Each structure stands twice: as C-alpha cells, then as structure tokens.
C-alpha cells in the first residue's frame, strides 16, 4: 500500500499539486488520470521521490518515506519497479542486458542466477528468443514487454507506470494493460499507473484518481466513472470517442472487460 497525505508541490512559487491525499491499495491497478498538464507526472514522480515535495507525507506500507534520509530510502527504492513512457530501454544494449541491468546494479547474483531470472521474467511477459536482439529490432509492444520484464526483475513490491500505452495501437494496449494487471495480482504489487487513455481506465481501472488542475477532483472505479455526475470528469472522459461508445452502451450492457 502507498499512502499520500496532503501532498503539496510547487515550482518557482507556482503550486502544481494542491493538498493531494490518496491511498493506493496492494494487488490492485491504481490509475491516475487527468488532462495534459493537470499534474499526473509530478504526482507520480513525487510518490517515487524523484521530486522533493513542499509538504505532506508519503507512506510505503508502514514506513514514512518522506521522513527517511536519502540513504535510508535506498531499501525502498530497490523494491520499486518503473515502466517509463516509451520503454526507456538502452538502445546499445541487448534485451537480456536491459532486463539484467537492475540485477547488475543492485545484486551480487552469479551470472547464472541473473540469466535464469532474466529468462523467467521474459517468459512471464510472453517473450522468447529475443535475448540477443536490440531495441531497434523490436515492435512497440515488444519494447513495452521488455520494459515490464525489467521492472519486475527485482521482484518489486511497488510498480510505477508512466503512460505504459503511449505509442501502441488499441489492441496491443489492451494486452499490455492486462499483462500489468495480471502481474500486479500474481505478485501482490502496489501498482500506480499514470494515463490519459480512457480505454485503459475502462479495462483495468480498479481504483481511479482524477486530477484536475493539481487537485484530486474525483475518485472511484471504472464502473463509477461511467455514471459520475462530476462535470469536469465527464468532460475529460467523454472527450474520448471510445468512452462515448461505452457510455452509450452502459445502460444496456457493460461487458466483462468494460469495453
Ligand atoms: N520540472 C518542472 N519545472 C517547472 N514546472 C514543471 C516541472 N514539471 C512539471 N511542471 C509543471 O507542472 C504542471 C503539471 O505537469 P505534469 O507533467 O505533471 O502534467 P501531466 O498531467 O503529467 O501532463 P501530461 O499528460 O501532458 O504528461 C505543468 O504545468 C508543468 O508545466
């Protein structure tokens, strides 16, 4: 579980996160949604500790992360997996080297142990025979899978995903969304996903936080969202054509996948 309490963050006197409190449950896909510029990325980076916040507290389970020193935070940082927008793979490294990187940096495992772990993670994201390929030789969906394999290689308790579907076609996005959800449940990870993809919300939005102009404006799940009367949320949601279709169908039937 990750808990944010009264987070305030400003840049040069301009407040971009205004007193945000939220609890992100373990074993669930927690989504942060909002318009471009609303503060999603700043919130995600603040939770991870990449931004120093002005005030507030962030708890990782029972540990108050914000009151730890830089060195003390190391133990928690090693339990965090991150999937960056675009994958952020090292272009000049093979798939195996990319996935192995956290093990090289943070463990004393033998080469065989590392190879076994890398292969296990690649299999888990349904990739095979790709160890020696370079990122340029992979499709967009494969790059995301490699990024997920790298994010889980250290067996994280916490997983942060920044726009994991950016650049993917809708069908591949569904597959990646569901892979993240499966992994979250299988390994009981606290997963926080930053997205403005309404299809993702309707697919895996077990817990959704809507950020509007730096404030937590609405909170609920993928089913609540279709019936909300929050004006700003509705404007955001129904700007998406897919969501419009789902809304139109919601009175008649909501499929198991929410699509
Ligand atoms: N390092 C920074 N210095 C100054 N201002 C920043 C910095 N990072 C973000 N901001 C500002 O904070 C606000 C929120 O930005 P943020 O990147 O969190 O938006 P977002 O909701 O993630 O948008 P998008 O969906 O386009 O990525 C924006 O006004 C942005 O200009």
Task: Provide the pLDDT for residue 255.
Answer: 39
> Would residue 157 count as lying in a domain?
no
CATH, residue 237: 3.40.50.300
Atom of ligand 1 nearest to the CA of 45: 18
Q: Total domain count for the chain? A: 1
Query: What is the distance in A from the centroid of ligand 1 to the CA of 38?
Result: 7
ipTM, 2 dp:
0.97
- Determine the Cα–Cα distance for residues 239 and 235; give it in Å rounded to an integer: 6
- Domain interval for residue 75: 1-79+194-259
Ligand 1 center to residue 84 CA distance, Å?
Answer: 16
**In this structure, is residue 141 part of a structural domain?**
no
Residues contacting residue 20 through CB under 8 Å, at least 6 positions apart? 4, 6, 7, 8, 43, 56, 211, 214, 215, 216
Task: From 7, 9, 16, 17, give the residue whose CB has the most ligand 1 atoms within 8 Å, as the site to mutate.
Answer: 16
Question: For the chain, give me the number of helices (H) and strands (E)?
Answer: 10, 10
Residue 207 included in any domain: yes
* In a domain? residue 171: no
Please check whether residue 165 lies inside any domain of the structure. Answer: no
Range 87-107 average pLDDT: 90
Q: Locate the DSSP E strands across 78-234.
A: 80-83, 158-162, 190-194, 207-212, 215-220
pTM of the model: 0.89
Residue 248: band (very low, low, confident or very high) from pLDDT cuts 50, 70, 90: low
pLDDT digits 0-9 by tens, 179-203: 899 999 999 999 999 998 888 888 8
């Amino acid at each position: 579980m990750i808990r944010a309490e009264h987070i305030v963050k400003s840049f040069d006197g301009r407040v971009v996160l205004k007193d945000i409190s939220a609890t992100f449950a373990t074993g669930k896909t927690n989504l942060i949604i909002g318009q471009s510029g609303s503060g999603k990325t700043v919130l995600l980076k603040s939770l991870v500790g990449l931004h120093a916040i002005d005030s507030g507290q962030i708890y990782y389970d029972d540990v108050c992360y914000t009151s730890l020193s830089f060195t003390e935070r190391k133990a928690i940082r090693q339990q965090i997996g991150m999937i960056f927008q675009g994958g952020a793979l090292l272009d000049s490294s093979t798939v195996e080297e990319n996935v192995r990187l956290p093990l090289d940096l943070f463990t004393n495992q033998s080469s065989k142990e590392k190879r076994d772990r890398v292969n296990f993670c690649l299999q888990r994201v349904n990739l095979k025979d790709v160890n020696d390929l370079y990122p340029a030789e992979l499709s967009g969906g494969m790059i995301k899978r490699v990024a997920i394999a790298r994010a889980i290689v250290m067996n994280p308790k916490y997983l942060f995903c920044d726009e994991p579907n950016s650049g993917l076609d809708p069908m591949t996005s569904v597959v990646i969304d569901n892979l993240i959800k499966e992994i979250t449940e299988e390994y009981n990870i606290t997963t926080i996903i930053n997205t403005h993809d309404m299809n993702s919300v309707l697919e895996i939005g077990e817990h959704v936080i809507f950020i509007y102009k730096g404030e937590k404006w609405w909170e609920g799940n993928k089913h609540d969202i279709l019936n909300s009367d929050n004006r700003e949320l509705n404007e955001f949601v129904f700007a998406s054509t897919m969501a419009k279709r789902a809304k139109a169908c919601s009175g008649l039937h909501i499929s198991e996948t929410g699509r």
